[in-house]
Structure formats: structure tokens, C-alpha cells
Chain A
Amino acid sequence: EHGHEHHDEL
């Protein structure tokens, strides 16, 4: 799991 529920970077 990479820790984000969504991808917040652009």
C-alpha cells in the first residue's frame, strides 16, 4: 500500500 487513497501529485 502506498499510503494514498488517491494520487495527489500531478
Chain B
Amino acid sequence: MNLFRLFGDLSHLASILILLHKIQTTRSCRGISFKTQALYVTVFVARYLDLFYDWVSLYNFSMKVFFISSSIYILYLMKVRFRPTHDPSIDTFRAEYLVGPCVVLALIFNYKFTFPEVLWSFSIFLESVAILPQLFMLQRTGEAETITTHYLAALGAYRALYIPNWIYRYFSEGVVDPIAVIAGLVQTALYVDFFYVYFTKVLQGQKFELPA
């Protein structure tokens, strides 16, 4: 564990708490892509199945339980509790175009051709693109509530912090995890546009609005 990874994980944790806070206080899931959230559940369930047979640490265990349960809870909030506030007509990104290629990639690129390892690779590839329906929705509506942008910023910061973590681990432990690193770089790159608007507008006190 190093500080980059710790702060990355805490940022991930914060992003979910911000999202829950947004939904609970506004009593609405407006502006949130159900597809992205459903993809995250898929990612967490596929990756954290090792919860049942591989003990890493209490930290690791608690985080996994939190990520799986909170992401399922968010789906419940969107589909049941605040269902009327979710508008599927603007959440139109075809998620199956993401899942299919990730299955194929996982079958080709994995560390061992076993079920858990292929599932792990799949979750890494899927996580790297899971934010696309959300970003697509943002692009389509051209604006976002400030709280939603804080959620995305925390999520992007988590990904960004994993990069110095890998550099640190390369020098301190001599390990490289090429699948995680390549997918992670792709994932972080997807946030570049968002961060540009976030830094130049939201953090200057303006509303998140994309140029027409």
C-alpha cells in the first residue's frame, strides 16, 4: 500500500458517497446514467468474487464488500425508489457494444486461462469504459448539476491516482501489471475532456455547461 493507492481508493469511496448524497438529498437520479451504474455492478461482482476464496487484508475485504453493496444499492435507488426521476430516453449509449468486446479481450488477454482470471481481466477492461454511457449522457444534455460533476471528478481522481501508484510500485517492488496499467491509462484518458471543463468552469464557481 502506498499513499497514491490509498488516496485513490479513498477518492473512489468518496465518489460513491457523493453520488449517494446527491440521490438522497435531491431525491432524484437525474443526470445519472443507469447503464454506467449497472456496468459498475458487473465490474465489481466479476472482480471481487475472490472475496470468497482469497484473503488479502481487512482493508481489501471491507472495500470490496462496500463497492459491491453500494453499487447494487444505487441500482435499487435508480430503478425502484426514485424510478420516476430517471429518464431512459437520454441514457441511450449501447452498453452491449462495451460488454461484448470486453468479453473477447478478456478471453485473449489474461494472466491465466482460468475462469476467475478471465473474469478479472473482463472486469478490468469493462471498468475502463464503463463511464462512457455517463459521459455520453453529459455530452448529450450539455450540462450537469454541480454535485454530479463532483462525483465524476472524484471518480476520475481515483483513476488518475492509480497511475503514480503503478509507477511507485514499479520502482519499489519491481512489479508491473500490464493489463491493469493499459486499461487504466485508457480509462483515465476518457476523463481528460471532463476535467478540462471541471477545472475551467465548475471550480471557478460556474455551472458545468458544454459549448454548444
Chain A contact residues, CB within 8 Å of chain B: 1-4, 6-10
Contact = CB atoms under 8 A, between A and B. Distances in A.
A5 to B, nearest CB: 9
A7 B111 CA distance: 11
Contacts, number: 34
B175 interface: yes
A3 B145 CA distance: 43
Interface of B: 5, 9, 12, 47, 50, 54, 56, 60, 63-64, 67, 111, 120, 162, 165, 173-180
Main secondary structure of the interface of A (DSSP, over half): loop
B176 A9 contact: no
Contacts of A10: 9, 12, 60, 63-64, 67
Contacts of B50: 6-7
Contact of A6 (B9, B56, B174): B56
A7 B120 contact: yes
